[in-house]
Amino acid sequence: MTLVCGALLLAATWRANDRTKRRLQGLDFDTLDLGTILVDPPRAGLDDATVQLLSSFKRIVYISCNPATLAANLAAIKDSHSIERFAVFDQFPYSHHVECGVYLAQRDGAGGQAGGEKQSA
Q: Break the chain into its structural domains and give their ranges.
A: 34-106
CA distance linking residue 82 with residue 106, whole number of Å: 6
Of residues 33 and 106, more confidently modeled: 106
Q: Determine which one of 5, 99, 100, 117 is catalytic.
A: 99
Tell me whether residue 84 is one of the annotated catalytic residues: no
pLDDT in tens, 68-114: 999 999 999 999 999 999 999 998 899 989 999 999 999 998 765 55
User: Is 65 marked active-site?
Assistant: yes
Q: Name residues whose C-beta falls within 8 Å of residue 98's C-beta, 6 or more positions apart in sequence.
A: 65, 67, 88, 89, 90, 91, 92
Instruction: Please pick, among 65, 84, 100, 117, the residue that the annotation labels catalytic.
Output: 65
SS3 state of residue 100 = strand
Fold annotation for 34-106: Rossmann fold (3.40.50)
